[in-house]
Amino acid sequence: MILVTGGAGFIGSNLVAALIKQTRSPVHVCDVVDSDEKRRNLAKHGIAGIVAPEDILGWLKGEGAATKTVFHLGAISSTTERDPVALLDNNVTLSTDLWRWCAAQNARFIYASLAATYGDGEKGFDDDPDPLALTSLMPLNGYGQSKQLFDINAVLMTRMGCHPPQWAGLKFFNVYGPNEYHKGGQRSVAVQIYEQIRDTGQARLFRSHHADYEDGGQLRDFIWVGDCVEVMLWLYANPAVSGIFNCGTGKARSFADLAHACFAAMDQEPEIDFIDTPQSLREHYQYFTEARMERLRDAGYDRPFTTLEDGVAEYIGSFLATNDAYR
């Protein structure tokens, strides 16, 4: 039996779809399915059941006691969340409770960390699991801080001998792809640019306020959600691999590259309007993110990552520009 927390969300529902297709294990989802978008994220997939987050620990002691693998992707994921108690309860305490249950029951535990733990990137993007390296990072928001705290907890609990037989934390970078539509303003820039071009014929990008970057030249490590799923499936197939790993492509691309990929996929000539970055964002605005992928490669992951152009073409051609944008 497999449990996917956050399984009605963006990355979670893509993982659920793949697990149901590729494994014979019943897949249960723990999530709050409170919108039509999240219901549609799961509608095509024969899940075994849905568990409310507040009931999850009791469920694991009863009906879910046979769970052998937990993919923990559920969290308060808004980068604007300001309630530290809610962030700690959901992103640290619950994660720790699930970790301890997996350790006690000999179940595997694969969880979502994120690139926001690196803060402004001043210290680089090296997924060094040493506690001193982890504590030296300075996330820019409460969401990133809560994920950093659990990364530290995971490493320290492992050193104390309290850990699942396999555990892995994945620092997801800029993920894009189907089933992200419930996220509102937190959706990927890819889908937002697509909608801008569809509705106005133009793409709007932030103007650069940094002398080293041209307008639209701000860089991100954009990763297709299917690649994130492939990494998790590889970990599932390789139970001897544990640790904290970056999950990006290892190649930064510009927002202008992303916009041009969208125009190409829509068979339109590029027309980009640059607008000032809001003053409130400028102080903490990231101009560069790029995952170092050596640790995952050294662990044995050898599959290629989807290029930005191919991923955007797949997203638009197979999902956004069709009558059914859901996986």
Task: Convert the pLDDT of each residue in 136-190 to its tens digit.
Answer: 999 988 889 999 999 999 999 999 999 999 999 999 999 999 999 999 999 999 9
What confidence tier does 281 reach under pLDDT thresholds 50, 70, 90?
Answer: confident
Residues 144, 122, single domain; the answer is yes
pLDDT-above-70 percentage for the chain: 98
Residues 152, 50, single domain; the answer is yes
Domain that holds residue 273: 179-220+252-290+311-320
Residues 242-261 have pLDDT tens digits of: 999 999 999 999 999 999 99
Q: What is the pLDDT of residue 59?
A: 98
Q: Is residue 47 part of a domain?
A: yes
Q: Is residue 168 part of a domain?
A: yes
Query: Hey, which residues does 174 pair with through a beta bridge?
Result: 222
What confidence tier does 308 reach under pLDDT thresholds 50, 70, 90?
Answer: very high
102-38-233 Cα angle (round to 5): 45
Mean pLDDT value across the chain: 95
Residues 166, 145, single domain; the answer is yes
Distance CA 164, CA 206 (A): 44
What is the model's pTM? 0.96
Residues 27, 151, single domain; the answer is yes
State the CATH number of the domain containing residue 270.
Answer: 3.90.25.10
Quote the tokens at residue 240.
């001897």
Residue 81 has pLDDT above 70, yes or no: no
Picking from 26-30, 70-74, 206-210, 282-286, which range would have the lowest pLDDT averaged per residue? Answer: 282-286
Residues 51, 85, single domain; the answer is yes
Residue 86 has pLDDT above 90, yes or no: no
State the CATH number of the domain containing residue 25.
Answer: 3.40.50.720
Sign, CA dihedral 15-175-103-166, equals positive
Sign, CA dihedral 320-322-326-327, equals negative
How many residues are recorded in the chain? 327
Q: Is residue 326 part of a domain?
A: no
Residues 16, 55, single domain; the answer is yes
Full 3-state SS string of the chain: CEEEECCCCHHHHHHHHHHHHHCCCCEEEECCCCCHHHHHHHCCCCCCEEECHHHHHHHHHCCCCCCCEEEECCCCCCCCCCCHHHHHHHHHHHHHHHHHHHHHHCCEEEEEEEHHHHCCCCCCCCCCCCHHHHHHCCCCCHHHHHHHHHHHHHHHHHHCCCCCCCEEEEEECEEECCCCHHHHHHCCHHHHHHHHHHHHCCEEEECCCCCCCCCCCCEECEEEHHHHHHHHHHHHHCCCCCEEEEECCCCCEEHHHHHHHHHHHCCCCCCEEEECCCHHHHCCCCCCCCCCCHHHHHCCCCCCCCCHHHHHHHHHHHHHCCCCCCC
Residues 21, 81, single domain; the answer is yes
Q: Is residue 235 part of a domain?
A: yes
Question: Which residue is catalytic, options 111, 118, 143, 301?
Answer: 143
Q: Is residue 325 part of a domain?
A: no
Residues 104, 163, single domain; the answer is yes
CA 309 to chain centroid: 20
Residues 79, 66, single domain; the answer is yes
Within 8 A by CB and 6+ apart from 215, the residues are 205, 207, 208, 256, 274
287 is known as an active-site residue: no
Residue 125 has pLDDT above 80, yes or no: yes
Residue 95 has pLDDT above 80, yes or no: yes
Distance CA 139, CA 265 (A): 34
Domain count, the chain: 2
- The amino acid present at 310, given as its one-letter code, is D
Residues 157, 71, single domain; the answer is yes
Picking from 16-25, 68-77, 314-323, which range would have the lowest pLDDT averaged per residue? Answer: 68-77
21 is known as an active-site residue: no
Within 8 A by CB and 6+ apart from 161, the residues are none
Query: Hey, which residues does 243 pair with through a beta bridge?
Result: 168
Question: Which residue is catalytic, options 68, 183, 213, 287?
Answer: 183
User: Residue 153, class by beta-carbon neighbours within 10 Å (0-12 exposed, 13-18 middle, 19+ buried)?
Assistant: middle
Residues 61, 208, single domain; the answer is no
What confidence tier does 283 reach under pLDDT thresholds 50, 70, 90?
Answer: confident
Q: Is residue 327 part of a domain?
A: no
Residues 118, 206, single domain; the answer is no
